[in-house]
Amino acid sequence: MARIEGVNLPASKRIEYGLTYVFGIGLTSARKILDTVGIDLNKRVKDLSDADVAAIQREISANYKVEGERRKEIRLDIKRLQEIGSYRGLRHKRGLPVRGQRTKTNARTRKGPRKRGGQIALKRAVTKK
């Protein structure tokens, strides 16, 4: 099992898809990395030699921000938007969709489960003992 940037890649997958398990590497980046290193896209992760894994690791660490470094960069970008008071920053802060989607319906992923505010509960009279 190949381990790149602290991520165990699935052994049975092709290497171009296996690399996408690393946060910050998509399919396009994975193909560019493999072209640069000179590894066949159809090769399986379990068929990689130690030299191949080391070459991929060197290429990624030299030219790409991945895993913790990438997550930190994204977090700082969002924090910067919030601090300057931009519209996108406010949407992030309120937990609402940032990219112009409708929120009257849908948007449940960002907003969370429905809040039952429309129904008024019947108040019970407090009895003295």
The values of phi and psi at residue 94, to 5°, are -85, -5
pLDDT in tens, 5-39: 899 999 999 999 999 999 999 999 999 999 999 99
**Averaged confidence pLDDT in the chain:** 90
Long-range pairs for 27-36: beta carbons < 8 A, 24 or more residues apart: 29/64, 33/59, 33/60, 33/64
- Which residue reads 């895993």 in tokens? 67
pLDDT in tens, 59-71: 999 999 999 999 9
Note the pTM of the prediction, 2 decimals: 0.75
CB 60 within 8 A of CB 4: yes
Q: Is 23 exposed, middle or buried (0-12, 13-18, 19+ CB in 10 A)?
A: middle
Question: Structural domains in the chain?
Answer: 3-64 (1.10.8.50), 68-111 (4.10.910.10)
pLDDT in tens, 79-102: 999 999 999 999 999 999 999 999
